[in-house]
Amino acid sequence: MTDKQTTALLIGTTGMLAEAAREAIARADKAVLVARKADEFLFGEPELDDKLVPLSLDYEDTAGFITELEKHAPYDVALTWIRPKAELMRAALDAMIAPQGLLVEVMGSRSILLGEDGSPSIAETRAQALAAQPDMTYAQVILGFVIEEDGSSRWLHHHEISAAAAAQLDDPIPRRIAGTLEPWDKRPG
């Protein structure tokens, strides 16, 4: 039996991913919660709130953000919603995942689009880069939309987004699409 404490990292999970964040916290001994106003966030459940280490950070200050996260690393599981162009921060996070750890990245539907110059999509670039790291599991959630029975479409509800992220925590696969991405021209306006 091991006395190793498990640590979860949660970035950008206080809104649409709050239900999935609850799942990640329930499985960990400690949860580092990062948001601009993390110190104001609570689940209202002592068994979860007592595990929280809130870090009120803005990732515009990449160096400061990374420095603060390193203080609590390594992370056994990470659930993140990060702006698409934060490559430096994403690369730094990869190095903070514990051996045999799990990184679940939630990305918007545009993350699968090729770059304007025909370069690979952000989602594909990340998948290729992390496939080369055998001591961790990497799983993406790509957020799509829902086509209703009447032919109209809508963006996903928070519980649908969290359900896809929680599914990646339970049974990680390389890429899970929440909703649908096709036909692309049916996306809500």
Tell how far CA 130 is from the center of its chain.
14
Domains and CATH numbers, the chain: 7-186 (3.40.50.720)
**C-alpha gyration radius of the chain:** 17
**Omega within 30 of 0 (cis) for the link into 188:** no
> 34 with 55: CB under 8 angstroms?
yes
**Contacts with 180 (C-beta within 8 Å, 6 or more apart), sequence order:** 144, 145, 146, 147
What's the CA gap between 108 and 6, in Å, rounded?
Answer: 28
**Span 47-84, pLDDT tens digits:** 999 999 999 988 788 889 999 999 999 999 999 998 77
**Span 80-103, pLDDT tens digits:** 998 777 788 888 898 999 999 999
The segment with the largest mean pLDDT, out of 2-11, 156-165, 179-188, is: 156-165
So what's the pLDDT on residue 46?
93
pTM of the prediction? 0.92
Q: What is the mean pLDDT of residues 29-41?
A: 92
So what's the pLDDT on residue 49?
92
